[in-house]
Amino acid sequence: MQVLELLNRYEAGPALLRESLAGLSADELRYKYDPAKWSAKEIAIHVADMEVAATFRMKRVIAEPGARYPGVDQDLWAANLGYQERDVEPSLRLLEALRAEMAAILRSLPPEVWNQSGVHDRAGEQTLADLVVAYTEHLEKHVGQIRAIRERLGK
């Protein structure tokens, strides 16, 4: 995938997520077709929280090549940060702000920086390009899950 195409997809992510949630009522945002699965609200807040981690990791790789960064336990975050009880709008705004800021940084970088790497404590070495691809696809995968929830709701 070319860098420009990747950056365009990366930047489009927040709008895709907003679109996937559009028109869902508060009850529909909280709907779970399976108790073991997340609701659309939980998915959206998860995406925003993981974007905080993504931004931190990408900035570390850019500013401090070879830096180490931690993973997170997404299920503990969802449970202990009250995803199902929170308002989704602040998380959507956070995601939009983080992606806008990070996209501007990424667009300004010389090509060689995309090959710089850092070390995730579980996944191992990751280049900046790897991270941008991973988080672009992460959001898109979760949008697909929300769309599947919408289908179950007949939306």
Work out the percent of the chain whose per-residue pLDDT is above 90: 95
The closest alpha carbon to 57, from 140, 124, 141, 4, belongs to 124
Domains defined along the chain, listed by start: 3-153 (1.20.120.450)
The mean pLDDT of the chain is 96
pLDDT at residue 53 greater than cutoff 90: yes
* Nearest-angstrom CA–CA distance, 67 and 106: 18
* Nearest-angstrom CA–CA distance, 70 and 53: 9
Q: Whole-prediction pTM value?
A: 0.94
pLDDT at residue 3 greater than cutoff 90: no
Q: pLDDT tens digits for 77-103?
A: 999 999 999 999 999 999 999 999 999
Work out the percent of the chain whose per-residue pLDDT is above 70: 99
Report whether 70 contacts 121 (CB < 8 A). yes
Tokens of 135: 């988080």
* Nearest-angstrom CA–CA distance, 148 and 151: 5
